[in-house]
Structure 1
Amino acid sequence: MTVVAMLQGAEAPDRAVTLDALALAQRLNVPVRGVCALPDPNAAMIVMSTPEATGLAASATRDLAALQDKIVAGAKDIFDDVTSTGAHGLACTFTHEVNIAERAGANAATLADAVVFPHSSQKSTDPLGPSFEHVLMEARLPLVLSGTRPIESGPVVIAWDGSNGAARAIRFHLDLVKAFGAVVIAQSSKDLEKDDHRASADPTVLEDWLSAHGISAQRMPIEGEVASGLLSLAKQCDASMIVAGAYGHSRIGERLFGGTTRNLLEASDAPALALAR
């Protein structure tokens, strides 16, 4: 198994996501793989009807290939720089995958222990934005979104309301939760009152399930709006990560997140988020 860092050839996001991938891999004692996925530039070739137009298309394809080479080289340099001093014996590999980023991200999320996206990918305008959206909203696979601060050694906060999304998030990321050890179950009683009663929302249900997997947890209530309450609790606990279900849907490339998910994603001061829809 492995932890995958999704890279884009930009200094700040690539460095942050590689550091977070390393932090998780060290906890799990598994290899780290950096992935920079770009489509085949030849696939962008447009069939033209005249020799002149065909020549222009070929020139554009060469320019695109040169740009991609520069992006890949930049991503590799950053990945190698971070892992050369921070891997502490873990196997680290860099892969340039000739593929669209959406498919590469989904491939990684299918079997990796964790696939980590940079914090900026929650923006639709980010180069990895479409991949982030596809993995989470369309493929419905788990991912970790880097926070605005590095992953530390604090507890994992689980946002628990008994829903399918919350259950999928904790089941998918069970190994990560185990690796951090300390767990806080966070719940807003007022938020639960908005929906029909779910027996699974009782935190005792989650406590028993975690206990069966060798994990002890403490409960801590949150007040007010759920996202702000989770973020405040995470800061209070120096949490390493929030595990939560993602709510909303995607429609022809337009992501439509629910209010809590959107506020967690867009927070300017947040730990890493382990998400599943």
Structure 2
Amino acid sequence: MTVVAMLQGTPETDVETTRSALAMAKMLGRDLTGLCALPDPQAAVMVVTTPESTGLTAAAAANIMDLQKEMLEKAEAAFREGVGAAPGMDCTFVHQVATAEASAASAATLADAIIFPRSAAKSGEPLSIAFDYVMMDARLPLVLGGTELYKPGPVVIGWDGSNGAARALRFHTPLLRAAGEVIIAQNRKDAERDGARPGIEPGSLEDWLKRKGIKASVSPIEGEVSAALLALAKGSGATMLVAGAYGHSRIGERLFGGTSKRLLNASDAPALALAR
């Protein structure tokens, strides 16, 4: 098992992602993989059959290959810079010839944690499609980097008894255990708006965490959920927030807003460990 840092070929972002992933890998006692996935250049060029177009197709493929080579060099250099001297750890840079979404989903299946840069939550960014695919379509767990570099500290759990929140907890149990302290946050009125859910009582979750060897406490919150979670994280010094993603439809969240959208778009937020 390993911690995976998703890289995109932009130096500053890749260094930050690597350093955050490295901190998590050290905390978990796991190795680190820097993953940069780029599609086959030939697949990115439309196949044509006319003799006149053959040269143009070959030139386009060559240009894509040159661009990919430059991106890979930048991604690997950023990974090496981010890793620095990490004695006792196996830190490996990997290039996969595939789409970023396919590679990320494959890595997320068995990784202890897969870390995306904060920018991936924004449409149009290099890894936004991969981020969206892993979370929404593959329904696999991921960690979105915080607005600051990750460092070990308490973890806040946004608990509403939903399937997404439960999946986020179960998938990221190793991170919770390694963090050493967990704070269960719940706005009871908001949690009950969709009807009673099994296991919604924070005390039930507290007992479950303690059976896993995780120290936990309960902190009720009030008002708008995302703002309350972010305030609790800041006040407690938490550097990670675990939550279920998109309890309502994606379209509904985009049109009317929602907890997930506000957490993803927050200008000051810890790392987010998410699952849908």
Normalising by structure 2, report the TM-score.
Answer: 0.95
2:77 matches 1:77: yes
Per the TM alignment, residue 55 of structure 1 is displaced from its structure 2 partner at its CA by: 0.5
Distance 2:24 2:107 in 1: 15
Tell me, yes or no, if the aligned pair for 1:157 and 1:242 is still in contact at 8 Å: yes
Q: Any idea what the Cα deviations from partners look like across 1:51-93, whole Å, max 9, x if unmatched?
A: 22110010010000000000000000000111123x2421100
Measured in 2, the distance between the counterparts of 1:101 and 1:255 equals 24
Contact map agreement 1:249 1:256 (CA 8 A) in 2: no
8 Å Cα contact 1:137-1:249 kept in structure 2: no
Matching of residues 12-27 of structure 1 within 5 Å: 12-27=12-27
Q: Distance in 2 between matches of 1:16 and 1:188?
A: 33
Separation in 2, partners of 1:216, 1:43: 50
Alpha-carbon distance, 1:35 to partner: 0.5
Pairwise CA distance, 1:112: 0.4
Is residue 2:114 matched to residue 1:115?
yes
Distance change in 2, residues 1:249/1:191 (3 Å): closer
Structure 1 residue 152, shift from structure 2 partner: 2.0
- Residue in structure 2 matched with residue 219 of structure 1 by the alignment: 218
Shift of 1:249: 4.6
CA contact (8 A) 2:79 2:93 kept: yes
CA–CA separation in structure 2 for the residues paired with 1:4 and 1:234? 24
TM-aligned CA distance change 1:257 to 1:29, over 3 Å: farther
Q: Is the 8 A contact 2:27 2:152 kept in 1?
A: no
Equivalent positions of 1:235-250 (< 5 A) are 235-247=234-246, 248-249=248-249
Q: Are 1:231 and 2:216 counterparts?
A: no
* Residue 211 (structure 1) shift: 1.0
Q: Which moved more, 1:42-51 or 1:58-67?
A: 42-51
1:5 aligns to 2:5 (yes or no) = yes
Greater mean deviation of Cα atoms: 38-47 or 178-187: 38-47
Q: Is the 8 A contact 2:254 2:261 kept in 1?
A: no
Deviation at 1:50, TM superposition (A): 2.4
Equivalent residue number for residue 52 of structure 1: 52
CA distance 1:234–1:210, change in 2 (3 Å): same
Select between 7-16 and 29-38 the one with higher mean Cα deviation: 7-16
**Residue in 2 that maps onto 1:62:** 62
Map 1:1-277 onto structure 2 (within 5 A): 1-85=1-85, 87-247=86-246, 248-249=248-249, 259-277=258-276
In 2, Cα distance between equivalents of 1:258 and 1:172: 26
Deviation (angstroms), 1:44: 2.2
Shift of 1:37: 0.3
- Name the CA shift for 1:49/1:121 in 2 (closer, same or farther; >3 Å): same
Amino acid at match of 2:127: L
Secondary structure at the aligned position of 2:84 is classed as helix
Classify 1:13/1:257 alpha carbon distance in 2 versus 1 (closer, same or farther; 3 Å): farther
Distance change in 2, residues 1:257/1:117 (3 Å): farther
Structure 2 unaligned residues grouped into runs of 5+: none
Shift of 1:24: 0.5
**Alignment CA distance shift 1:150-1:33 (3 Å):** same
- 1:25 and 1:257 map into 2 onto residues whose CA distance is 37
Q: Note the aligned Cα RMSD (angstroms).
A: 1.6
Amino acid at match of 2:140: L
**Structure 1 CA distance, aligned partners of 2:239 and 2:89?**
21
Structure 1: stretches of 5+ with no match in the other structure: none
Of all paired residues, the percent bearing the same amino acid is 55
Question: 1:216/1:25 Cα in 2 relative to 1: closer, same or farther (>3 Å)?
Answer: same
Letter in 1 for 2:71: I
> Quick one: distance in 2 between partners of 1:262 and 1:157?
18
The Cα shift of 1:222 comes to 1.3
1:215-248, CA deviations, whole angstroms, 9 ceiling, x for partnerless residues? 1211111121000000000000110200000014
Indicate the SS of the match to 2:18: helix
Change (3 A) 1:257 1:9: farther
Report the Cα distance in structure 1 between the residues aligned to 2:133 and 2:254, rounded to whole angstroms. 9
Aligned length: 274
1:46: how far off? 2.3
